[in-house]
Amino acid sequence: MAMSHLLVLVLALLSALALPSSAASGSTLTQSGALTGDQTLASPGDTFRLGLFPACNRSRWFLGIWFTVSPDTVVWVANRDRPLTSPSGVVEVSGGGALVLRGGASNNDTVWSSSNSSAAAVVVAGAVAELRDTGNLVLTDAAGAVLWQSFEHPTNTFLPEMRVGRSLRTAAEWSLSSWRDADDPSPGDFRYVMDARGAPELHVWSRGRKTYRTGPWNGVRFSGIPEMTTFEDMFEFRFTATADEVSYMFRNRDSSPMSRVLLNESGVMQRMVWDRASGSWSNFWSGPRDQCDSYGRCGAFGVCNVVGAVVCGCIAGFAPRLAAEWYMRNTSSGCARRTPLQCGGGDGFYALRGVKLPDTHSSAVDAGATLQECARRCLADCSCTAYSAADIRGGGSGCIQWFGDLVDTRFVDGGQDLYVRLAKSELDAPKNTRKFAAVIALVIAGFLLLLLSLAFLMWRKARRSKKVSTMLDEAAELMSGECPTYPLGTIRTATNGFCKENIIGRGGFGVVYKGQLPDGQQVAVKKLSAESTAAQGLNNEFLNEVVLIAKLQHRNLVRLLGCCVHCSERMLVYEYMSNKSLDAFIFDERRRASLGWKTRLGIILGVARGVLYLHRDSRLNIIHRDLKAANVLLDADMVAKISDFGIARLFSSSADRQETITRTIIGTYGYMAPEYAMDGTVSFMQDVYSFGVLLLEIVSGLKNQRSFNLIAHAWELWEGGRSHDLVDPAIRGGCTAGELGQAVTCVQVALLCVQECPGQRPPMADVIPMLLQQKAPARPQRPVVCTPTRSHPAAAAAAALAAQAEITGGNELTITSHEGR
Ligand SMILES: *[C@@H]1O[C@H](CO)[C@@H](O)[C@H](O)[C@H]1NC(C)=O
Ligand SMILES: *[C@@H]1O[C@H](CO)[C@@H](O)[C@H](O)[C@H]1NC(C)=O
Ligand SMILES: *[C@@H]1O[C@H](CO)[C@@H](O)[C@H](O)[C@H]1NC(C)=O
Ligand SMILES: *[C@@H]1O[C@H](CO)[C@@H](O)[C@H](O)[C@H]1NC(C)=O
Ligand SMILES: *[C@@H]1O[C@H](CO)[C@@H](O)[C@H](O)[C@H]1NC(C)=O
């Protein structure tokens, strides 16, 4: 394999040296030829290559076009939705004159075709596909007529000479759509499209919502991108608006470096320029640039100003529609007219200078009119709310009229003038400035008062019931409904590219990274280990499970915020716990003393409540199966939060869940109930056993392990009436007699929980009252581990597991082993 790669490399090098212009398989593909495996088509000047490229760690293959100097920069993809699973595809020009990619399961499926007409179509002889130096893949017939071209089917990249827009004659649309992920070319959430209605402009859309607009073309540039003027020495921009077509394209000027415009996975348009010196792409410009570019940031009749102390304002003559919300910085409701329009002769215009023109979707354009004519027309039409020049050249000409709300207006350097219609009385404002100022001062004072009283009310409410923040959290949760899936890019950025420095934990289920989401929230990202995730197609089931588990909410469970599924990788995103895990306290010489008895009892009760919720009160009746000190996290207030719950469900298929005997051994040595270690019997009692061990560990600060049998030790002390000797020496001195009594009860409850026979152990629902009322009703049976004999099956199983743990490098590790099916 390596040898053949080397050979290909050497051959490629040789051919590149010998015949620089006619690379690998030339630039054309005829009906008699085919492109297979790692063969590529090179454009005549070898600027672009066409061939199969891998994604997702070489598990998926796509037919695409990329820059020869930068093979990772794919500019077009054919089979975005139907990847091949190996590079064994064949590209050919069919008898019907279509470019097709064959491969897939039967190795001869048509995975992608440039034409979706049925196979029984006409025969087209002499069709040829050619990759041109512009990056356009063009399919022509024998007469040279274009049958199909990739430039008319863009993916996420806008290249020089390509058009974005639409044909008004054929209704064809040339738009971009983002990749789903940096590693997944399937269409993502964002689209870059031309809105040809009103004054045409380009929009970015995400799931049916407009997120960004360039503003209309003003004869020189887009109204919202004044910087374009400064690019003119490098690019030539061309905007076409005819009866046939509305489109936009750009060209590189001679000697300017290669460039491309990318709609990236976060919905940002990035203009990239190739830097020959460093051999990399540099980001030349990107949009949206700031929060004022975010569509409709300040609502109707609002105007956005990034350099102001307050981002949103109202256009002169308008005031916030919902004042209380506006002053709380919720500006989505926008502004309303202070004085109604008089229509007739009672109105005039206010010149709002230096703006990106508002959304032109429902505007009317007349390129022939003068600006004076435009003003006259707007006054004559009672529904007209504003006008502006359509072309800024030569002092401004042409006419755009707006009729409804003015949405998405912002100040920009080099912006245009927008003439907003107001009642004459508003325009005479200077006379009333003093009165105005007084009114404004009064209004502001009023709102301050309102705010203060609101804050007071909230504070009182917070004191009475829950914290306001939790109430808001819950509201947000209810609104969002399902658990979110995060794009891999977000997670990667959050964890600094999964860098080693961010690792905060490891276990059999995977590695845990600390991360920070773009909104500043700290999270813990658990990257699940590969063993259960190999199977494809289980993604939906996985996601369903995550949604179910994410809906579980309890004070003593770590919140699951969402997940991320990418190829075979699965990640869970949890809230981050600043105090890490319980084992970092109780087993640490220096920190154990900081965990006094009251805190420990609080943690014990918290864990018990969390487990009870999982067992009984949650809709899912989850058995945790890996309860241990490392899986109990502590928040800033030392409240215990159980983590990793439900992971067992994610790992096992639904069929497994119905059985009481599982084929998947999940657990940690020292916490595993004997019946489970022996034959894999799963029941709620397995968690009760682990809880018992954990309880002893929290009381004593000692760890149950092969070299030290904590259960036997506790039994010995309890039987001898010296349970209080088990209490962690680091805190024993500071305990009152009452507290020592509580500890003694805890030891007795723990010994009840670790009894050999599952039926003898108390259910979690009984454990909590025992702890709260400090009354353990029964005398525990001698635990089985006290009589270790090699012949005892449980001990033998435990010994086997111990051996396994030794191999995997320590008994702290979660053991996850799948037995053969
Ligand atoms: C890619 O595959 C290799 C070999 O199968 C594996 O070692 C590596 O961890 C994988 N990388 C990722 C990111 O999945
Ligand atoms: C593959 O499919 C094409 C069209 O369906 C057919 O012409 C060709 O013979 C098939 N090749 C093989 C090897 O089955
Ligand atoms: C190809 O598919 C598209 C989208 O499904 C459809 O609109 C179009 O009519 C189809 N064209 C042909 C030639 O079948
Ligand atoms: C998209 O472009 C913006 C601006 O250059 C950048 O900050 C962001 O990280 C990019 N997103 C992705 C997914 O690359
Ligand atoms: C902002 O105000 C709108 C309109 O009243 C309301 O529907 C929305 O819920 C508010 N948003 C927030 C985050 O409070």
Which is nearest to 336 in space by CA: 313, 348, 320? 320
**Six-digit token pair at 19?**
């015949």
Integer Cα distance of 351 and 386 in angstroms: 10
Query: Does residue 489 or residue 451 have the better pLDDT?
Result: 489
Which DSSP string do the residues of 573-603 spell out, in sequence order?
EEE--TT-BTHHHHT-TTTGGGS-HHHHHHH
Residue 332 near ligand 5, beta carbon < 6 Å: yes
- Best residue for ligand 4 mutational test, from 157, 184, 268 (most atoms within 8 Å of Cβ): 268
- Looking at the domain covering 154-289, what would its CATH class be? mainly beta
| 409-411 and 302-304 strand pairing | parallel
Which DSSP string do the residues of 360-385 spell out, in sequence order?
-TT-EEETTS-HHHHHHHHHHSTT--
pLDDT bin (cut points 50, 70, 90) of residue 483 is low
Per-domain boundaries in the chain: 23-114+122-151, 154-289, 316-429, 479-575, 583-820
Percent of the chain that is helix, strand, coil (3-state, to 5): 30, 30, 40
Residue 178: partners with Cβ closer than 8 Å, 6 or more residues away: 156, 187, 188, 189, 190, 191, 263, 264, 265, 267
Query: Does residue 729 or residue 443 have the better pLDDT?
Result: 729
Could you read off the pLDDT of 177-219 as tens digits, one per residue?
Answer: 999 999 999 999 999 999 998 899 999 999 989 999 999 999 9
Residue 44: asked if its preceding bond is cis (omega within 30°), the reply is: no
Pick from 352-366, 370-384, 477-491: least confident: 477-491
Per-residue pLDDT, averaged over 215-230, amounts to: 90
Residue 333 near ligand 5, beta carbon < 6 Å: yes
Which is nearest to 329 in space by CA: 446, 451, 227? 451
Integer Cα distance of 734 and 594 in angstroms: 11
Ligand 3 atom 1, closest CA: 116
Could you read off the pLDDT of 143-182 as tens digits, one per residue?
Answer: 999 999 999 999 999 999 999 999 999 989 999 999 999 9
- Any alpha helices (H) in 398-531, and if so which ranges? 424-427, 433-464, 468-480, 488-494
CA of 147 to the centre of ligand 3 (A): 15
Residue 475 near ligand 5, beta carbon < 6 Å: no
Stated pTM of the model: 0.63
The CATH code belonging to domain 479-575 is 3.30.200.20
Q: Are 253 and 236 in contact (CB under 8 A)?
A: yes
Pocket of ligand 4 (CB under 6 A): 264-266, 268, 270, 283, 286, 489
Q: Give the type of residue at 362.
A: S
Binding-site residues for ATP, in ranges, read 527
Phi, psi of 152 (to 5 degrees): -90, 0
Ligand 4 atom 11, closest CA: 266
Active site residues: 626
Ligand 4 atom 9, closest CA: 266
Integer Cα distance of 765 and 234 in angstroms: 73
Q: Identify any residues that bridge with 522 across adjacent strands, giving them in sequence order.
A: 516
CA of 330 to the centre of ligand 5 (A): 6
- Best residue for ligand 4 mutational test, from 183, 286, 564 (most atoms within 8 Å of Cβ): 286
CA of 332 to the centre of ligand 5 (A): 7
CA of 769 to the centre of ligand 4 (A): 54
Q: Are 314 and 335 in contact (CB under 8 A)?
A: yes
pLDDT at 27 over 50: yes
Residue 330 near ligand 5, beta carbon < 6 Å: yes
Hey, how many other C-beta atoms are within 10 angstroms of the C-beta on 11? 11
Could you read off the pLDDT of 362-400 as tens digits, one per residue?
Answer: 899 998 999 999 999 999 998 999 999 999 988 889 999
Ligand 3 atom 13, closest CA: 117
- Best residue for ligand 3 mutational test, from 80, 112, 116 (most atoms within 8 Å of Cβ): 116
CA of 490 to the centre of ligand 4 (A): 10
Ligand 3 atom 2, closest CA: 116
Hey, how many other C-beta atoms are within 10 angstroms of the C-beta on 803? 9
Residue 523: partners with Cβ closer than 8 Å, 6 or more residues away: 494, 514, 515, 516, 517, 561, 573, 574, 575, 576
CATH fold match for the domains 23-114+122-151 and 154-289: yes
Per-residue burial over 719-732, b = 16 or more CB atoms within 10 Å of its CB, e = otherwise: eeeebbbbbbebbb
pLDDT at 819: 41
Among the bound ligands, the one closest to the CA of 107 = 2
- Mean model confidence pLDDT for the chain: 82
Residue 327 near ligand 5, beta carbon < 6 Å: no
Ligand 3 atom 4, closest CA: 116
pLDDT at 117: 66
Instruction: Indicate the length of the chain as a whole number.
Output: 821
Find where tokens 């600060």 sit.
701
Ligand 3 atom 14, closest CA: 117
pLDDT at 473: 38
Per-residue pLDDT, averaged over 403-418, amounts to: 92
Among the bound ligands, the one closest to the CA of 121 = 3
| 184-195 and 176-181 strand pairing | antiparallel
pLDDT bin (cut points 50, 70, 90) of residue 745 is very high
CA 55 centroid distance within chain: 19
Q: Are 377 and 419 in contact (CB under 8 A)?
A: no
pLDDT at 450 over 70: no
Binding-site residues, in ranges, read 527
pLDDT at 682: 77
CA of 416 to the centre of ligand 4 (A): 28
Instruction: Measure the CA dihedral 315/316/317/321, to 10°.
Output: 40
Pocket of ligand 3 (CB under 6 A): 116-117
Helices 684-700 and 737-753: crossing angle in degrees, nearest 10, is 150
Residue 323 near ligand 5, beta carbon < 6 Å: no
For 271, 296, 413, 586, the CA distances from 226, given in Å and listed in that order, are: 15, 19, 7, 62
Hey, how many other C-beta atoms are within 10 angstroms of the C-beta on 744? 21
Query: What is the number of the ligand 4 atom nearest to the C-alpha of 493?
Result: 9
Query: Does residue 19 or residue 210 have the better pLDDT?
Result: 210
CA of 661 to the centre of ligand 1 (A): 32
The CATH code belonging to domain 23-114+122-151 is 2.90.10.10
Query: What is the number of the ligand 5 atom nearest to the C-alpha of 328?
Result: 14
Q: Are 761 and 688 in contact (CB under 8 A)?
A: yes
Query: What is the number of the ligand 4 atom nearest to the C-alpha of 264?
Result: 1
**Six-digit token pair at 614?**
């999982």
pLDDT at 594 over 60: yes
pLDDT at 134 over 70: yes
Q: What is the DSSP letter of 630?
A: G
H or E stretch at 801: helix 793-807
Ligand 3 atom 6, closest CA: 116
Among the bound ligands, the one closest to the CA of 267 = 4
Long-range contacts of the stretch 451-459 (C-beta < 8 A, 24+): 451/327, 451/328, 454/324
Residue 426: partners with Cβ closer than 8 Å, 6 or more residues away: 316, 317, 338, 339, 350
pLDDT at 21 over 50: no
CA of 755 to the centre of ligand 5 (A): 56
CA of 738 to the centre of ligand 1 (A): 57
The CATH code belonging to domain 316-429 is 3.50.4
Burial (CB < 10 A; 0-12, 13-18, 19+), residue 568, is: middle
Among the bound ligands, the one closest to the CA of 113 = 3
Among the bound ligands, the one closest to the CA of 34 = 2
pLDDT at 559: 87
User: Count of alpha carbons within 13 Å of 533, Cβ hemisphere only?
Assistant: 19
pLDDT at 311: 87
Long-range contacts of the stretch 538-546 (C-beta < 8 A, 24+): 538/653, 539/565, 541/653, 541/654, 542/570, 542/650, 543/485, 545/646, 545/649, 545/650, 546/483, 546/572, 546/650
Query: Does residue 2 or residue 748 have the better pLDDT?
Result: 748
Pick from 342-351, 405-414, 446-455, 660-669: least confident: 660-669
pLDDT at 319 over 60: yes
Residue 659 near ligand 5, beta carbon < 6 Å: no
Per-residue pLDDT, averaged over 610-617, amounts to: 88
Cα end-to-end distance, the chain, whole Å:
32
CA 591 centroid distance within chain: 37
Q: What angle do CA 399, 405, 408 make, to 5 degrees?
A: 85
pLDDT at 68: 95
pLDDT at 358 over 70: yes
Which is nearest to 222 in space by CA: 415, 499, 505, 32? 415
Ligand 3 atom 10, closest CA: 116
pLDDT at 320 over 80: yes
User: Of all residues in the chain, what percent carry a pLDDT higher than 70?
Assistant: 81
H or E stretch at 354: strand 347-356
pLDDT bin (cut points 50, 70, 90) of residue 104 is confident
Phi, psi of 159 (to 5 degrees): -105, 160
Residue 415: partners with Cβ closer than 8 Å, 6 or more residues away: 223, 226, 353, 354, 355, 356
Find where tokens 């630039």 sit.
27
**Six-digit token pair at 190?**
């964002």
- Best residue for ligand 4 mutational test, from 266, 285, 491, 492 (most atoms within 8 Å of Cβ): 266
pLDDT at 140: 94
Among the bound ligands, the one closest to the CA of 320 = 5
pLDDT bin (cut points 50, 70, 90) of residue 487 is confident
CA of 100 to the centre of ligand 2 (A): 12
Residue 325 near ligand 5, beta carbon < 6 Å: yes
Tell me which architecture the domain covering 583-820 has in CATH.
Orthogonal Bundle (1.10)
